[in-house]
Chains A and B, each alone.
Chain A
Amino acid sequence: DQQVKQNSPSLSVQEGRISILNCDYTNSMFDYFLWYKKYPAEGPTFLISISSIKDKNEDGRFTVFLNKSAKHLSLHIVPSQPGDSAVYFCAANLGSGTYKYIFGTGTRLKVLA
């Protein structure tokens, strides 16, 4: 039972355009969300996060949107650059003191020059 779903295994975008990566979750008790980026043969690196009390968080070219009613979050990258080509994971955390982050299966983004 996958509580955090990234239904698009891959995405290709032209350089300079917007990349939109999507993530859906099933548990309404999740209250903190993160995005990680992973290059081949490396560990994931933290990108951006958002608390459930917000609906948007922005950091440079990266913006995460949270729609709690739809149990959906998305990561927007604009403008996309070839160096953004990587696998992106979203992760969600339950409240009540647990540190158990549930990760999605990842979306492979390819930015075409």
Chain B
Amino acid sequence: DAGVIQSPRHEVTEMGQEVTLRCKPISGHDYLFWYRQTMMRGLELLIYFNNNVPIDDSGMPEDRFSAKMPNASFSTLKIQPSEPRDSAVYFCASSFGGRNTEAFFGQGTRLTVV
């Protein structure tokens, strides 16, 4: 398996524009996570899905952020409208099984909002 695949790797956009980040989890994994990494706060969990259903979105910072998982092999994280403070590295991760299992991370999308 190619691992968790995220696209794009880098995204530069202007403030106010819509941004969509994409993730393909590892086949067979039933959990999918979206994280955001910043210098000040480290890795923050934004939302996670189990079997395509959002379970906990309490980490989503504002209504400008939304995430979907239309099927087991695809998820999106959308920011609309984007703001400069959204600039960060966004990671998608997936795992199989119960709580005490490791998550496999993608390479991340570096988002810069100017």
User: Which positions in A face B, CB cutoff 8 Å?
Assistant: 2, 6, 32, 34, 36, 41-46, 49, 51, 89, 91, 93, 97-106
Contact = CB atoms under 8 A, between A and B. Distances in A.
A100 B45 contact: yes
Interface residues of B, number: 27
B44 interface: yes
Contact of A32 (B35, B39, B100, B104): B100
B99 interface: yes
A88 B100 CA distance: 19
B99 A42 contact: no
Contacts of A41: 107-108
Contact of A97 (B31, B99, B104): B99
B42 interface: yes
Nearest to A41: B107
Contact of B108 (A43, A97, A102): A43
Given A103-B44, A106-B42, A45 B100 contact: no
